[in-house]
Amino acid sequence: MALDGILLRCRVKLYEPGPVSKDLLLKVHTPGLIEGVKGDPLCSTAWHSAGGVVMAGEKIAGGEIANAFAFIGAGGHHSARDTFGGYCCFNDVALCIVNLREKHGFRRFAILDTDAHHGDGTREIFLTDPDVLHVCVCGQEYESPDGTKVDLGFPDPRECRGGRTMNDAYFDRVSRSFPDRVRRFRPDLLFWYFGFDTHQGDYGDIGLTGPCYWNIAVLMRNLAEEVCGGKLEVVLGGGSRTELATKLIPPVIGTLAGKDMWQTEFPGG
């Protein structure tokens, strides 16, 4: 129901995915992980969650849609080849990448992960893959020798004095760290792993609110238009509160659909 307005008013279409195939799962995960996911009640939505992320990538690559927002019920970025946890079951982004490489000849991918937590599963799967740029804003500082695996710390609260907010400092950090790397890297498609667990009051609270996410949405949409013909997939990550999802997500989708619409259609968020 939270999406009814955006589905009526914008160039937005809702797709319902089928389950991800076992063939594809076995190209990323071990049989043991798949059995473990089957037995975990927290993972009941894992097949359709990953199926949606994979399907969105295919529709973007085939030109049916320009970009996508993938809702998930079970997360992805803590899921590695043989281990899962932290509300993550199958690595949805990795499955999408493997599928796009095989079916569409895409090779290079850039991922911005703004979930509050380190994307350890995604990092492990692509650790030695120079064609995946993985920039993860998770509170630690790291850069691999080849520059394709990067972790960024959270802004220091001392950066937020004199009217400057945590939203400003966080957005500055993203906009100084990600776009130039992407321009040099020249990916075929961009992913934004969007967790809102960083929002005030959610379980990874670092003091962010709506405008920070919406500004990142605009940045990602414009960057994708600049470097890869607009091909952008936003994949939902962590976040637990229904009222936050209801408030935060429609403006992100609106931004994907058009020009900075959250500022005019969702004044004040």
Binding site for Zn ion (CB under 5 A): 115-118, 136, 138, 151, 195, 197, 238
Q: Closer CB to Zn ion, residue 81 or residue 103?
A: 81
Q: Closer CB to Zn ion, residue 47 or residue 193?
A: 193
Q: How far is the CB of 194 from Zn ion (least distance, A)?
A: 11
**Containing H/E element for 236?**
strand 232-236
Q: How far is the CB of 147 from Zn ion (least distance, A)?
A: 15
Q: How far is the CB of 5 from Zn ion (least distance, A)?
A: 28
Per the CB < 8 A criterion, the answer to whether 150 and 173 are in contact is no
Q: Closer CB to Zn ion, residue 238 or residue 251?
A: 238
Q: Closer CB to Zn ion, residue 18 or residue 201?
A: 201
Per the CB < 8 A criterion, the answer to whether 244 and 55 are in contact is no
In degrees and rounded to multiples of 5, residue 208 shows phi and psi of -85, 160
Q: Which of 217, 214, 206, 201 is nearest to 154 (CA)?
A: 206
Q: How far is the CB of 122 from Zn ion (least distance, A)?
A: 9
Vertex 153: Cα angle to 218 and 173 (nearest 5): 30
Q: Closer CB to Zn ion, residue 106 or residue 170?
A: 170
Q: How far apart are CA 58 and CA 52, in angstroms?
A: 10
* Pairing outcome for strands 189-194 and 109-113: parallel
Q: How far is the CB of 121 from Zn ion (least distance, A)?
A: 11
Alpha-carbon separation of residue 223 from 159, 180, 196, 217, 227 (angstroms): 26, 10, 21, 10, 6
